Structure 1
Amino acid sequence: MAVLIGTRDGVFRIATVPVTDAELVIDSGDTPRIRTFPTIDGVFAATKSGLYRSTDDGQTWENLSVPQDEVYSVVASPDSECIYAGTHPAHLYVSTDGGDHWRELDGFQDLPSRDQWHTPRHRNEAHVRSLSVHSETPDRVIAGVEVGGVHLSEDQGETWTERRDGVHDDVHHVLVLGPDEYVASCGDGLYRTRDAGQSWTRLDTGLDHRYFREAFTFDGRLYAAAARSSPGTWRGENGADAMLVESTDDGDTLETTSYPGGPDEVVLAWTAIDGDVLAGTNDGRIIRRDADGTWTDAGHVPAGIRSLSA
């Protein structure tokens, strides 16, 4: 089974773990998301030069021509009828024919806070950083906006409700644990909701680190990683000062663990392969969690890792 790796320079494909050879398969530039979905064929790469799809294990790719070039997120509905794409600037599009044609979901622009969404270091505009659905709520779409908060639609993206009260508005990723339970990784904290965002609980109150990029769950264990501050500080005198945490109770308690590359390197991406968890860091390192719970070095790719998919 191949692993597809979204990096700052495009998408790499590796055939084995540990890494023996990494092939650049899309020269697409920055690639925030690589994703597969249970009900739709292929793998999707959301990149700053478009949304790409491969149906041959990442060997060849087709640009699906989303109206905005900079695609930050993608998700497919559980019935495979809809593919949603989130972009920069923050717009949302849907395709009902497998990506051949796209329609903007204009209701997303009608949210009351829309005029407040902006990210100073991204041309003072926001982007849809995360899109999620759950099989038990197939018409519900959950969107995380950097910077703009969490928002929810119950009608396949036509109309929207804000779920941003109680969660930091710099949203990097929303992990769906159940139909109403989500974990949001934010620029200032890790948050959980058990009522579809109507209320939020902060999970990182016992930690010194506040900058979370993405959480992951596998085999009953929650994984998350954080840096002490935002990426602009990671190359300074003190480095990223990063940490990796694990939880067996959905985040109620977070236990720190050591890992190759830490604390200088930040884990930004996750996937699972052959029953093991893989993670990727901002310096291009891949690490693997062994059966005894220790993390080992599994090799490098030539650019900082942004996303992973097995």
Structure 2
Amino acid sequence: MTTRIYAALDYALLVIEGRGGNWDANRYFDGNERPYAVAVDPYAPERAYLGTFNDGLWRTVDGGNSWSQIGSDFSSSRVMAIAVAGEDRPGEYGTVYAGTEPSAVYRSDDGGDTWNECHGLTDLDSATEWSFPGRPDTHHVRWIEPDPNVPERLHVSIEAGAVVRTSDRGETWVDRVPDGPFDAHTLATHPDAPNRVYAAAGDGLLEEGHEYVESTDGGDSWVYSSEGLEQHYGWAVAVDPGDPDTRVITTSPGAGRAHDIEDEAVRTHDEPNDPYSVVYRRQGEELWQQCTDGFPDPAGLFVPVLATIPDESGTFYALTNRGLYRSADSGETWDEIDLSWKDRYREQQPRSVAATSIRDE
């Protein structure tokens, strides 16, 4: 079995492969494209999609060895979110969704060859209030989360302003609900937890205790449950593929200490660049517990991003500016994956990570 991980940093996409305990990485997109969001088709693991901050959407059909630009009909070159609805397969491949800045969602039913805009998103009442703090004259789609139990349903986070949803593949939209997260950075779902949606949010900067939130009714209502989290800026959340009650979240004291704010292109705050981020895990209704065993020290750590693989129960992957880490015990302990981690990667923001497994022939 081969594990393949697509790791997007500010100025590089690493395609990392592991087999039999040996790991290797190849680097792509180390120019001005600015990798930002990456996703892989779970049923066609040789196909992956990369959204960039400066250069639109790209696709690989050979496991990352080569890339071609797609999505030429998009109205923006900033593709900030990408997702594959693996359970929604109108053809050979899962349905692909891409989100841009300014906020728009596009859908492809043929593996990225052609695209249609999912109209009506910015007609929602809340859209007049959407605004990204770093670029307040605009906003973007931060996350797209397909529902594994309802193939035509998506949950979409707008940064900043709303979590909205569609139950018909983007033909119509349902606006945010009053108790929903305002600034959700990552959404997650689980095939063994119908109607459950998990969110890591920056809402804790507005109201303490609002760093993590869940819905158990498909987004009709939300409950905040951040007991034990000491940092109030939630960024990434992932759920154990084998247990929908085990979650891992990455946090920071605030946006200014979570991100690479010295980068003028994506600067969001003017605080000194003093990164500090913490990873927590939670099982059931227990309090969140900080992950320290084997994980990098929080000081100097940009906020990590997380990934799981459906058939790897209890396993999480975390991309950091210090390296790539893996936990095989539901986030309790972590090991650094043995890679040649270059010094320049240590100064780059982890943007997105996607993982898949391929059965060796």
Whether TM exceeds 0.5 here: the answer is: yes
SS in 2 for 1:262: coil
Contact 1:118-1:126 at 8 Å conserved across structures: yes
Give the Å deviation of 1:207. Answer: 2.4
Q: Which residue of 1 aligns with 2:268?
A: none
Give the Å deviation of 1:256. Answer: 1.4
Give the Å deviation of 1:22. Answer: 3.5
SS in 1 for 2:248: strand
2:288 is equivalent to residue 254 of structure 1? yes
Give the Å deviation of 1:233. Answer: 6.7
2:84 is equivalent to residue 70 of structure 1? no
Aligned residue-pair number? 308
Give the Å deviation of 1:174. Answer: 0.9
Unmatched segments (≥5 aa) in structure 2: 204-210, 261-270, 356-361
Q: How does 1:1-310 map to 2 (within 5 A)?
A: 1=2, 2-16=4-18, 22-27=25-30, 29-40=33-44, 42-48=47-53, 49-66=55-72, 67=74, 68-77=76-85, 78-81=87-90, 82-122=95-135, 124-177=137-190, 178-188=193-203, 189-218=211-240, 219-220=242-243, 221-231=246-256, 239-249=274-284, 253-258=287-292, 259-264=294-299, 265-272=301-308, 275=312, 276-281=315-320, 283-291=321-329, 293-298=332-337, 299=339, 300=341, 302=345, 303-310=348-355
Whichever structure has more strand as a proportion of its residues is 1
Deviation readout 1:12-58 (Å, 9 max, x if unpaired): 12234888654222346333322123345511112222222212111
Give the Å deviation of 1:144. Answer: 0.6
**Per the alignment, do residues 252 and 139 of structure 1 end up closer, same or farther by CA in structure 2, a change over 3 Å counting?**
farther
Give the Å deviation of 1:262. Answer: 2.4
Identity %: 24
Work out the CA distance in 1 between the residues paired with 2:22 and 2:12. 17
Contact 2:228-2:289 at 8 Å conserved across structures: no
* TM-score for both structures, normalised by structure 2: 0.77
Deviation readout 1:270-305 (Å, 9 max, x if unpaired): 224694422012x24212225594223334352332
Give the Å deviation of 1:239. Answer: 3.6
SS in 1 for 2:151: strand
Unmatched segments (≥5 aa) in structure 1: none
Give the Å deviation of 1:232. Answer: 5.0
SS in 2 for 1:15: strand
* TM-score for both structures, normalised by structure 1: 0.89
Contact 1:267-1:280 at 8 Å conserved across structures: no
Q: Which residue of 1 aligns with 2:206?
A: none
SS in 1 for 2:35: coil
Write out the 4+ residue segments of structure 1 that deviate beyond 6 Å after TM superposition. 17-20, 233-238
**Per the alignment, do residues 9 and 234 of structure 1 end up closer, same or farther by CA in structure 2, a change over 3 Å counting?**
closer
Work out the CA distance in 1 between the residues paired with 2:272 and 2:103. 34
Query: What is the CA RMSD across the aligned residues, in angstroms?
Result: 2.6
**Per the alignment, do residues 290 and 116 of structure 1 end up closer, same or farther by CA in structure 2, a change over 3 Å counting?**
same
Deviation readout 1:203-243 (Å, 9 max, x if unpaired): 21442211111101123231111001113576877944422
